[in-house]
Amino acid sequence: MEHFEFMETTISKVHQAYLEGSLTAVELIKFYLQRIEAYDKKGPAINSIICVNPNILEEAAAADAYLKEHHALQGPLHGIPVMLKDNFNTSDMPTTAGSIALKGWVPPENAFVVEKLKQAGALILAKTNLHEFAIWGETISSILGQTVNPYDLTRTPGGSSGGTGASIAANIGIIGMGTDTINSVRSPASANSLVGIRPTIGLVSRAGIIPYSLTQDTAGPICRTVEDAVRTLDVIVGYDEKDAETAWSVGQKRDSYIDHLQKDGMEGKRIGILKSLFGKEKCNASTNQVIETALQVFRDHGATLVEVENQIDQSYLNEEVSVHLDDFCHDLNSYLETLPPRWPVHSMKDILDKGLFHPFSEGNMRDAMTRQVGSPRYLEKMYNKIAVRREVMKIMADLHLDAMVYPHQQQLVCKIGSNQLQRNGVLCSSTGFPSICVPAGFAPSPEAPIGVPVGMEIIGRPWSEPVLIEIAYSFEQHSHFRKMPVSTPALED
């Protein structure tokens, strides 16, 4: 449609066009299918998509027919295309977790979150690449290979939800869904100039998601705007009897998160700058400069910034608090054991014995097999987690803080073939606290035409999503740091 701007569009703009009759869901889906054809396997070859929903045009036509018959939207996400990380169970498409060990596996039912999205009227456009079994942060898998960053084709898109991040950044789809065990929603958000929300553990069900560490796993949206991420969060939260952890969320959500999209939301807030999570090496200089510039947005719009000097250390959190690798074998096996008897693998050992993995994943899988849930070392980490949770809460109480901020990653997202280093997302994943990652700007780099995206995390107390949304939305509205990648421009009609 000549008068509808597809690029960087949002849920609200699409719904307005649907109701006005200037856009149909079929037209919107065809737009994204054209971009998949042009940019995912051709052109810059982002390589972010494992599987396109073969029924997507029929489902879009059904959404259009509903609107035509009822003169109303079917739900809060009516006709909105979703890029879904391929570790969410889908009953009508394969769910591989990026592994050839699960190639062709179609689960009997949808994940709880997928069902919630569909009930809200969303359209699952495609399943996206991830770091195999969500193990790490470079988004390379045995099912598809390496996804690349659309801002710098020599870099990774973060991970493990990098396929989701790269596709949403490249204007393929509107809603992105990822999972986060250590950094995996916020890392692709940071690396692709996007918004990523890691909710408080227990706010969103993990039932039907291939697990990595059920102590730390959660799901969350990755979108181009805070508003779209919040509209998605509003839909996917809720108690699920199949995930007992969600019982903690009952009574915590008292209104719509959309009500907290306030342009003056940072005014009067006290926000801590968590200095220990800023890098102090030469490789950290460009990231620090971007964040320091971004912090001025808070000062200019009514927030009070407080420097926080403490001993919270990223490497300590990874090594002495996070139990991601300790849980990995146990929790993945709990899923693989449910596969049909005919399936060739039912454990991590089977996958390794049969060689059904990407070489990049082997070290972490073999390490995980040496660890045991409930061991003295495991219990030591769980005790350390209690201490860190208490320390964060005490800092915020002593300094009367509403939130704290820091760079998601102390150095730029890594080059393809390298490992991610110095990511700070482990603070929230190991404690279960919520955070929102927002675009903070771009750092110069020779292979990045407009620079490499840098993301800033905003962390809060458990169940403080409303406060974090107010701060994140206000920051976004007063900064507008997001830019489209030049490698995936608008297509000519």
pLDDT at 168: 99
Provide, rounded to the nearest whole percent, the portion of the chain with pLDDT above 70. 99
Report the distance separating Cα 438 and Cα 198, nearest Å.
12
Q: Under 8 Å CB-to-CB from 297, ≥6 apart: which residues?
A: 475, 478, 479
Is residue 160 part of the annotated active site? The answer reads yes
- Residue 103's contacts (CB-CB under 8 Å, 6 or more residues apart) are 94, 96, 143
Angle 357-359-360 (CA atoms, 0-180°, nearest 5)? 105
Could you write out the DSSP letters of every residue in 180-196?
ESSSTTHHHHHHTT-EE
Q: Which residue out of 85, 116, 127, 269 is catalytically annotated? A: 85
What mean pLDDT is predicted for residues 1-19?
A: 92
Q: Which two tokens stand for residue 355?
A: 């060689």
pLDDT (0 to 100) of residue 254? 84
- What is the rounded (10 degree) CA torsion for 254, 258, 262, 267? 40
Q: What is the pLDDT of residues 150-174, one digit of tens each?
A: 999 999 999 999 999 999 999 999 9
Catalytic residue among 142, 184, 249, 487: 184
Specify which residues 111 forms β-bridges with: none
When pLDDT is cut at 50, 70 and 90, the band that residue 493 belongs to is low
Antiparallel, parallel or unpaired: β 195-198 and 145-146 = unpaired
Mean predicted confidence (pLDDT) in 487-492? 95
The string of pLDDT tens digits covering residues 427-461 is 999 999 999 999 999 999 999 999 999 999 999 99
Flag whether pLDDT at 64 surpasses 80. yes
| Cβ atoms of residues 331 and 135 within 8 Å | no
What letters, b where the CB count within 10 A reaches 16 and e where it falls short, cover 106-136? ebeebbbbbbbbbebbbbbbbbbbbbbbbbb
Q: In the predicted model, what is the mean pLDDT of residues 208-223? A: 98
How many C-beta neighbours within 10 Å does residue 318 have? Answer: 18
CB 457 within 8 A of CB 425: yes
Query: What's the pLDDT score for residue 2?
Result: 57
CA proximity to 199, closest of 164, 229, 241: 229
Predicted confidence band of residue 490 (pLDDT cuts 50, 70, 90): very high
In the DSSP assignment, the letter for residue 36 is I
Where residue 1 falls among pLDDT bands split at 50, 70, 90?
Answer: very low
Q: Please state, for a pLDDT cut of 90, what percent of the chain lies above it.
A: 98
Would the pLDDT of 12 be above 50? yes
Mean predicted confidence (pLDDT) in 207-211: 98
Compute the half-sphere exposure of residue 147: CA atoms within 13 Å on the CB side of its CA. 36
pLDDT band with cut points at 50, 70 and 90 for residue 379: very high
Q: What is the rounded average pLDDT for all residues in the chain?
A: 97
**Are the C-beta atoms of 82 and 125 separated by less than 8 Å?**
yes
Q: Of residues 160, 187, 213, 487, which has the active-site annotation? A: 160
Helices 56-70 and 25-35: angle between axes, nearest 10 degrees: 160
- Separation of alpha carbons 221 and 177, rounded Å: 5
Does 85 participate in catalysis according to the annotation? yes
pLDDT tens, residue by residue, 27-53: 999 999 999 999 999 999 999 999 999
Q: Which tokens sit at 64?
A: 């259009």
301-325 pLDDT, tens digit per residue, is 999 999 999 889 999 999 999 999 9
Q: Which of 277, 323, 331 is nearest to 429 (CA)?
A: 323
Summarize the confidence of residues 362-378 as an average pLDDT.
96
Q: How many CB atoms lie within 10 A of CB 392?
A: 23
pLDDT of residue 492: 84
Instruction: List pLDDT tens digits, range 400-436.
Output: 999 999 999 999 999 999 999 999 999 999 999 999 9
- The answer, as to whether pTM is greater than 0.85, is yes
What local confidence, expressed as pLDDT, does residue 311 receive?
85
